[in-house]
């Protein structure tokens, strides 16, 4: 009997295959500032962040968000991250440090790993599956994480399915040309489903 995780992945595969077969591709979105996308992403369990407090090296550190979406920070204690992005977290730590601990603290938060966000790579790749989203992740990076294309892959007809503002979009990408420098790279969003079809010989 298939495990729940395997059944869920199989459902994603079937859903993507059906969507890719029937949904027309939309024009590629304009290249956006990756920093803007990153700033909009809320943090979740498993994410790894780095916190720096200016001129307070003993407070600098790398933290993994725990299973309930919180972390323990020196002096201020438990910080709940529900609904917060990196900038929100920096503001909260700054405010709590300023409340009796430090005068005008300067806090910055960097996200090292978005383990709570996933990318799905399916179809004609060596290791189809689900992978953690990384800041400013490209289509080439995702295909590489999946072990690269198989010999049967239609490398210039890769489909990316994305939900943006509640609307499902589908893009067809010439990833073979991207890899050889003939086409611009494509930046992924968390939750994107990449489907590599089989080439028609």
8 Å CB contact between 38 and 87: no
**CATH fold of the domain at 39-113:** wza like fold (3.30.1950)
Q: Return the pLDDT at 195.
A: 98
Cross-strand partners of 153:
198
Q: State pLDDT tens for residues 172-188.
A: 999 999 999 999 999 99
**pTM for this entry:** 0.73
* Torsion, CA 154, CA 197, CA 170, CA 141, rounded to 10: -70
- Give percent of the chain with pLDDT exceeding 90: 74
Q: State pLDDT tens for residues 2-20.
A: 454 445 555 555 555 554 4
CA distance 194 to 188: 10
CA distance 178 to 49: 31
Q: Return the pLDDT at 24.
A: 53
CATH architecture for the domain at 4-30+115-196: Roll (3.10)
pLDDT confidence bin for 146, thresholds 50/70/90: very high
Q: Which residue shows structure tokens 């943006």?
A: 164
Q: Is the pLDDT of residue 127 over 50?
A: yes
Q: Is 196 exposed, middle or buried (0-12, 13-18, 19+ CB in 10 A)?
A: buried
What residue ranges do the domains of the chain occupy? 4-30+115-196, 39-113
């Amino acid at each position: 009997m298939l495990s729940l995780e395997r059944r869920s992945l199989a459902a994603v595969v079937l859903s993507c295959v059906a969507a890719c077969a029937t949904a027309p591709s939309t024009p590629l979105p304009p290249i956006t500032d990756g920093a803007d996308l990153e700033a909009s992403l809320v943090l979740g369990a498993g994410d790894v962040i780095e916190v720096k407090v200016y001129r307070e090296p003993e407070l600098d550190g790398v933290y993994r968000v725990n299973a309930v979406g919180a972390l323990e920070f020196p002096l201020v204690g438990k910080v709940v991250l529900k609904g917060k992005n990196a900038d929100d977290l920096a503001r909260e730590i700054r405010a709590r440090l300023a409340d009796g601990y430090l005068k005008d603290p300067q806090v910055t938060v960097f996200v090292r790993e978005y383990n709570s966000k996933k990318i799905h790579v399916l179809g004609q790749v060596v290791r189809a599956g689900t992978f953690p989203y990384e800041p400013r992740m490209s289509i080439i990076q995702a295909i590489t994480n999946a072990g690269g294309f198989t010999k049967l892959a239609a490398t210039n007809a890769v489909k990316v399915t994305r939900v943006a503002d509640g609307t499902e979009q589908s893009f067809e990408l010439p990833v073979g040309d991207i890899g050889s420098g003939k086409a611009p790279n494509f930046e992924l969003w968390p939750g994107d489903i990449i489907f590599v079809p089989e080439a028609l010989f």
